[in-house]
Amino acid sequence: MSSLRDILKNEIKARGPITVSRYMAQALGHDEFGYYMRQDPFGTDGDFITAPEISQMFGEIIGVWVAVVWQALGQPNPFNLIELGPGRGTLMSDAVRAAEKMPGFEDAVRVTFVETSPALKEVQKQTMAGLFAMPAWRDSFSDVDADFAGCPSIILANEFFDALPIDQYEKADDGWHHRLINWADGENGEAGGFVFALGEILEDESVIPPDLRIAPPGALFEHCASGAKIISEIATHIQTNSGAALIFDYGHVEPGIGETLQALKAHEFFDPLKSPGEADLTAHVDFSLLGDTAAKVGTQVFGPVPQGAFLSRLGLRQRADKLILNATPEQIQEIETAYARLVDADQMGTLFKALCLASPGLGLPPWSG
């Protein structure tokens, strides 16, 4: 039995069932036993692989996007380049290597990572070592906003929002309820385990979009309050200081009914309630929540568009062809495989999407033609 399993079990026994967001926050971010706090989970030997880890092309193309946006902002010096949840730091190191070709960029950029995991901060330090852009670190975007206000910011996040805790709501015959996580003791010598349970009825249904409230009994709705809070902070920051944000993640364009909470371990799906802290827990991102929340602040919102289309419009094919020019047959195969993973509809090309925020009046690629 993992220690976090004991901690959460004891919490439930002492105070009653916990929300899904409490469970997810502890499973991922518990100071000692949280999934991200202990380890580097990326790559073929880890639990999952992300776009920047698939190929340097992903970060390089984003670096070109960053350079063009910096130009569109009037080449401010200094400016903030901020990444939320940078993992191993691969995206940022590939991006700044590509963007530094733009005259003046190197002198102007101030990189900041928003990261909670001490283990990953160490990996990020190593990845960025030797580059001109050694980052500063902050634990939350609120800290960034307080410390780095006053100059324009370009903000990046890849697979960050899917790692934020969600709450679940379940429709029963008498209306919508919180969905909670309880502990069930085992019977006849069997081990106990966490189970889902119906919580109190929702007095205020405003968290459920109006057209989904009439869903039949058994329906499940997921809501990411922390995602809404962070996107609102990002939009306000951009609105106040000028700048843009580019967010990649997997998820849906419209809010919907259904469960997307999932656990991954060694590239296989895993029971999310089985071993908190030992598998990656994620939920699909509700892009309409992010976009609508940012739009309320007054920022321009572009997309979401499918990742494959977005990367293609930014020139991913041309970048792949350039790399192929000097590649061995084996490397060509690797480049083509990586290209297909990033853009093909049956791989990451459609499920993953790009959402962009920009301060008023800023024209951005690929939307500005």
Q: Give 143 or 185: the residue with its C-beta nearer to ligand SAM.
A: 143
Q: Mask: binding to ligand SAM, 116-145, rule CB under 6 A, as x and -?
A: xx--x-------------------------
Question: Which part of the chain contacts ligand SAM (CB under 6 A), choosing from 85-93, 97-105, 168-176, 313-321?
Answer: 85-93
Minimum CB–partner distance for residue 310 and ligand SAM (Å):
15
Closer Cβ to ligand SAM, 176 or 339, answer by number: 339
Please tell me the number of Cα atoms within 13 Å of 196 on its side-chain side: 16
Question: Please, what is the minimum distance in Å from the beta carbon of residue 232 to ligand SAM?
Answer: 15
Q: Which of 47, 100, 145, 159 binds ligand SAM (CB under 6 A)?
A: 159
Q: Which residue of 12, 26, 30, 50 would you call a contact of ligand SAM, by CB under 6 A? A: 50
Give me the residue label for tokens 């039949």. 216
CB of 172 to ligand SAM, least distance (A): 31
Among 36, 250, 287, 352, binds ligand SAM (CB under 6 A): 36
CB 165 within 8 A of CB 21: yes
Cis omega (within 30 of 0) for bond into 365 = no
CA quadruple 47, 245, 251, 336: dihedral positive or negative? negative
**H or E element: which one contains 90?**
helix 90-99
Which candidate, 267, 281, 277, 247, places its Cα nearest to that of 352?
247
Of 13-21, 158-166, 262-270, 348-356, the segment contacting ligand SAM by CB under 6 A is 158-166
Nearest CB to ligand SAM, comparing residues 72 and 264: 264
Task: Give the torsion through C-alpha atoms of 90, 91, 95, 96, to 10 deg.
Answer: -50
Bridge partners (DSSP) listed for residue 301 = 357
Site for ligand SAM in 161-180 (CB under 6 A): 163
Nearest distance in Å: CB 141, ligand SAM: 8
Told to check if 293 binds ligand SAM by CB under 6 A, we report: no
Indicate whether 114 belongs to the interface with ligand SAM (CB under 6 A): yes
- Min dist. Cβ of residue 324 to ligand SAM (A): 24
Q: Which long-range contacts (CB under 8 A, 24 or more apart) does 269-274 make?
A: 273/181, 273/193, 273/194, 273/195, 273/196, 274/193, 274/194
The H helix count followed by the E strand count for the chain is 14, 16
Nearer to ligand SAM, 60 or 159 (CB): 159
Binding mask 51-70 for ligand SAM (x = CB under 6 A): -xx-----------------
One-letter-per-residue 3-state SS of 236-261 = HHHHHHCEEEEEEEEEECCCCECCCC
DSSP 134: P
DSSP string for residues in 20-60: HHHHHHHHHH-TTT-HHHH---BSTTSSB--HHHH-HHHHH
Q: Total residues at the site for ligand SAM (CB under 6 A)?
A: 18
Measured from the CB atom, is 182 or 232 closer to ligand SAM? Answer: 232
How big is the chain by its Cα radius of gyration, in Å?
21
Which positions lie near ligand SAM, rule CB under 6 A? 36, 42, 50, 52-53, 85-87, 91, 114-117, 120, 158-160, 163
